[in-house]
Structure formats: C-alpha cells, structure tokens
Structure 1
Amino acid sequence: MTTRTVNYSANALKTAPAIRKKLWLAAIKPPMYSVAIMPIMVGTAIAIAETRTLQAGIFAIFVFAAILILAWENLANDVFDSETGVDVNKAHSLVNLTANKSLIFWLGNLCLATGLFGIGAIAAIQRDLTVVGIILVCCVLGYIYQGPPFRLSFQGWGEILCFFAFGPLAFAAAYYSQTQAWSGTNLAASTIVGVSTSLILFCSHFHQEADDAAVGKRSPIVRLGTKRAAQLLPWLCGSIFALTALCVWLGVFPVTTLLVFASLPIALKLCKHVGTNHNKPEKVSNCKFIAVALHFWSGIFLGLGFVLPQLLGFGAVLPT
C-alpha cells in the first residue's frame, strides 16, 4: 500500500513553528521512554535488595541500550503504520512529518544496532549470552507487533505482546544482568509493571477507534467499544494495587512496596477521565499520558519499596 501523509501539515506548519515543534515532541514521545527504563530500574532494585550490590556500569549500559531499542520500535512502528493507512490522520507520525519513510526506517535500524551493541557489551563483560538471548526475544515480539507479515497488533494482540516484552522478559534480563541468576520475587514484580505498561497501549487507542476500525485493526478498543473498554479500565488499574498487596500479604514483597498506593490518585484520575470522555476523541486523546504517569510513578514507588528497607537499615528483607 502506498504511504499516505497528512496533507494539511506540509503547508500549515510552515507558518506555525510552534505547532510543528509540538508535533515533533509528540512524534518523538519523550515521556514514553520511561517504558524502557522502568523494568530495568525495578529489576535492578530487586537485585540490590536481594544481593546488596549494584553493578552501576552494567545498569547504565542497559538503560542506554533499552532506550535505543525502544526508539527503534517506535520508528519502525511509524514506518509499518504508514504502510497500512492507520496513521493517515496522525499529524505527529514521523513518516508524515518528514515525508521520508526510508529515512525513518534506516534511522530505526541504526538505533536497534547500537542498542544491541550495548547489550552485546554486557554479555562480553560477563561472558554470558543469556541477556542477549532474552533481549532478542523482546525484539522479535516488538517486530511481530506491527511488522509484516505478522502485524499481530491488528488482531488485538498488542497489549499481550507488550506485557511480556516489558514485563517478565525485560525484568528477567535486568535482574540477570546484575546477578546472573533468577528470582521469583522479580517475576512477581514484573507482572505489575507489565500490566501498567500494557495500560499505556490500551489507552492510546481510545481516540483512534474510528481510524483503527477503518483499516481493519481489531484493537481491544475496537473489539469492546469505547464504553465497555472504559468500564474495564478500573479493573486493569486496580490489578496493579491488588497484586502488590497480595504479594506483601504472601511475604513475597516487603511491606514498604505498599508505597505503590501513592500512585492511586493517578489511577483514579485516569479512570474518571476515560469514563467521562471515552467517546470524545479530542478530549480522551491525552489519556495515554495519564497512563504513562501511572506507569512511571507506580514503578518508582514499587522500586523504592524494595530498596527502602536497606536504606533505612532494616537489613535483608527478601529471600534470594
């Protein structure tokens, strides 16, 4: 299919630099990169809590590599979306902004190669290819999400792929890079951050239900309708807090991880906003940024909850 671009942007934006700047910021998506950072941060926090050590160099390389790999996924998705027509009304698509699909495609590949080089450096330092293998699986999931011939996001599988890539797999890689071992506590925590990550993707579809349906994209919002999806949202948000409380009650998490409840007001704001505006694209379009805030702060408080006992001198609190 021939790439279609947003016609109004080419002329209007020449005389509106402020609008163009906003569209570029929306296209680059700076807040979204917390999605790459949070699994590494929380997984590393659990490793610190269990081993009382931090390999700061490994952590820094991993964060840098993860940001680049996520940049590849975002750039590649813009390219693949341009081929399906789903982004025809998306002014902040990088392909639409640049009118140069090839440039975005190869820039994305450069980000991927550089990110994988960083992961390879970790493997070389540790003389262990395990982390490389896990991250390659994450990359495969990232590709089949929107890449041809798979395009599983069109079948409504995007949120599930997102859960595994940024939940269990990313956490396993982050923890293993610090300890070269595995952790049940880390796996439990990964489900919480995995859910909050998938929520971002879930919320990003409310305002584009019509565009998705027009090109045959069966996202959860298209399948459920915006009203039923909005009714499901409190249950999804609530699972973040319910799972944390359950893990504390079972003794898997330290009680300090209940700090995650400090992000509850953001969850309530998200549910109220979507519940009121689910069928108003111009008003609900910002809900994904509220979901990003929920993901960020719930992850920060969860990670802090794991290291806080040591910071306060409580000693070891987690089984290894």
Structure 2
Amino acid sequence: MYSVAVMPVLIAAGWRLQQGLVVRVDQLLLFLLAAVLLLAWENLANDVFDAETGVDLEGKPHSVVNLTGRRDRVAALANGVLLLGLLLMALVAFRSDAAVLALVLACCGIGYVYQGPPFRLGYRGLGEPLCWLAFGPLATAAAVMALAPEGTAQVPWRAALELGSGPALATTLVLFCSHFHQVEEDAAHGKRSPVVRMGTGPAAALVPWFVAGCLAFEWAPVLVGHWPLTALLGGLGLPAGQALIRLLREHHREPERIVGSKFLALRFQALNGLGLALGLALGPLLQR
C-alpha cells in the first residue's frame, strides 16, 4: 500500500533531474520516511474509525483492529505514528520552506475528514476527490519544494498539477477499487461509496476511464514538449491496468473473485508512477 505514499516525492525527484536541477538526497529520504509514517497513521486510524461503525467487521479481515481486537491500542499507535511523521516533516520544512509543513498538514486534514467523526466524508461518497487532491497537487507541491536547495518564492502549483494529476488519479483508482468486494457491507452500515451509489456494473465501466485519464494527464506534457519521450515509461503500468479492467468487467458481481482488485490497481499505480519518475529522470540522456 505504501507505494501511494512515496510516489509524489519520487516523481518530484525525477522531474527535478529532468529539469537539470539538484535533488537533495537527505531531504528525499526524510520525506519518504515521513510520508510512509503518515500513511500508516491514515491506515491505522481508518481501521479505528471504521471499527466504530462496524463496517469492517466482515468485509475487512486484515483490519488491524480486527486482527488484534484492541481498538484502544491501535488508536494509540496511530496517534504516535502521526506525531512522529509530522515531526519528521517539520524537520523537512525547517530545512526548506514552512509551506511544506502547511501543505502536508492540509493532506492530513483531508485524511481526517475523509474518515473521522463527525465528518466521515468517505461515507458520503467523497473519498475519491479528496484522495486525488491530497496525493495530487498538495503532496506533489510539498515534495517539489522540499527537494529544492534554493528558497522557493511561492508554492509551485503549476508544476504540481502537471506532475501530480495523473499519478494521483492512479492512487484514487486504488481507493475506488477497494469498495467493489464489500458493497453489501458498506451499504448496510451507511457507507455510500461511489460503487454503492452506482452499482458494481456502472462502477466497473468507469475503471477504463481512470486508466486512460491517468495516462492522458501524463502523456499530454510529452506531446506538447514539456517532458521528454522517456516519460512515456509511465505506460509500464498498462498491463496491470488492462488486467484490472478485464477482472472487474467480467466478475464485478462476484465479491470473492474481485477481492484482490485493489491490489491490481496498486500494481498499476506503482508501475505507472515508478515508470514516470524514471522516465523523467532519464530525459536528459536524450539531450546528449
């Protein structure tokens, strides 16, 4: 699951190399560690909050709360991981720009309103757009600023949107696919995910658009000359995307057959993001 946490900063590093700019390796490593810790908080807190509503009792056997039976200890662990992650991100911001911490705090706030009371916006079907916003422009802007050795006059929104829109759509696809196998459980506990609202058939028909939209966002800068041809390596995730499309098209009514669909989505997300980051970093080789 943690490929979604590390991707914004890896892509930002590839972009800086493509631009001929310096990448601060120490900041890269600190950002990676902090991002993993913050996603660990998000996942643990999600288990804690979902345990309150009972939505995970049957549909999510790998929930840490279900595995341990100790909601209180999982909550304490989640808070400790959050504190450590924010302390590391504060160090990253201290060594770069205060806006880095502000952007990351915004991501954490989105993570809380997605799952935590009294908001629980994920239960209202708003999880996917919130996911795109957090893992797209916000996290990518923070990563770009964190890796820069020079002071940044303002938040690089344009670069963050160009870099982060496609990979964030792939991350959003992971969340979207996590709903397919537990539609009945979600509906019974008041979780109105997009798949619950639309039904598995129409929702499965959207998956090709997620994949195509992700690649369109990433390949458009190549077509207009902003990125090198090597950025097309983001297409490495396409076989996994095609396998995911086939699986959900043929078996969307069979929860036991599609329980692993989010892991296919993760494979697409990871290979796509790593391919894009590598492709951007290799860009200068074409200019020699």
Structure 2: unaligned runs, 5 residues or longer: none
Aligned match of 1:167: 136
Whole-Å separation in 1 of the counterparts to 2:200 and 2:32: 35
Q: Residues of 1 paired with 2:225 and 2:23: CA distance?
A: 24
The answer for the alignment partner of 2:25 in structure 1 is 56
Pick the aligned partner of 1:116 from 86, 109, 112: 86
Tell me how far apart the structure 1 counterparts of residues 63 and 3 of structure 2 sit (CA, whole Å): 20
After TM superposition, the structure 1 = structure 2 runs for residues 63-142 of structure 1, keeping only pairs within 5 Å, are 63-89=32-58, 90-126=60-96, 128-142=97-111
One-letter amino acid of the structure 2 residue matched with residue 307 of structure 1: A
Match of 2:15 among 33, 46, 68: 46
Most deviating of 233-242 and 289-298: 233-242
Distance in 2, Cα, partners of 1:207 & 1:88: 14
- Residue of 209, 214, 230 corresponding to 1:235: 209
Match of 2:236 among 258, 262, 270: 262
Is this contact kept in 1: 2:10–2:277, CA < 8 A?
yes
Deviates more, 1:87-96 or 1:157-166: 87-96
Of 201, 205, 209 in structure 1, the residue corresponding to residue 183 of structure 2 is: 209
Aligned partner of 2:6 in structure 1 is: 37
Q: Which amino acid aligns with 2:104?
A: I
Structure 1 Cα separation of the partners of residues 236 and 57 of structure 2: 39
The aligned residue for residue 266 of structure 2 is 292
Q: Radius of gyration: which is bigger? A: 1
In 2, Cα distance between equivalents of 1:245 and 1:187: 14
Could you tell me the percent identity over the aligned residues? 43
Contact 1:46 1:186 in 2 (8 A): no
Cα distance, 1:222 vs structure 2: 0.3
**What are the equivalent positions in structure 2 for 1:125-204 lying under 5 Å apart?**
125-126=95-96, 128-179=97-148, 180-181=151-152, 182=156, 184-204=158-178
* 8 Å contact from structure 2 (residues 237, 271) kept in 1: yes
Q: CA-atom RMSD, angstroms?
A: 1.3
SS at match of 1:88: helix
Shift of 1:262: 2.7
CA separation in 2, counterparts of 1:262 and 1:116? Answer: 33
Gaps of 5+ in 1: 1-31, 316-320
* Offset from partner CA, 1:104-125 (integer Å, 9 cap, x none): 0010011000001101111222
In 1, the alpha carbon distance for the partners of 2:53 and 2:181 equals: 18
Q: Which contiguous aligned blocks of 4+ residues in structure 1 show a shift greater than 3 angstroms?
A: none
Cα deviation, residue 183, structure 1: 6.0
Looking at structure 1, the residues matched to 160 and 231 of structure 2 have their Cα atoms a distance apart, in angstroms, of: 13
> After superposition, what is the alpha-carbon deviation per residue over 1:132-164, rounded to whole angstroms, capped at 9, x for unaligned?
100000000000001000000000000111101
Listed one character per residue, the Cα deviations across residues 10-42 of structure 1 (whole Å, up to 9, x for unaligned) are: xxxxxxxxxxxxxxxxxxxxxx01110111100
Aligned partners of 2:43 and 2:219: how far apart in 1? 33
Distance 1:225 1:313 in 2: 47
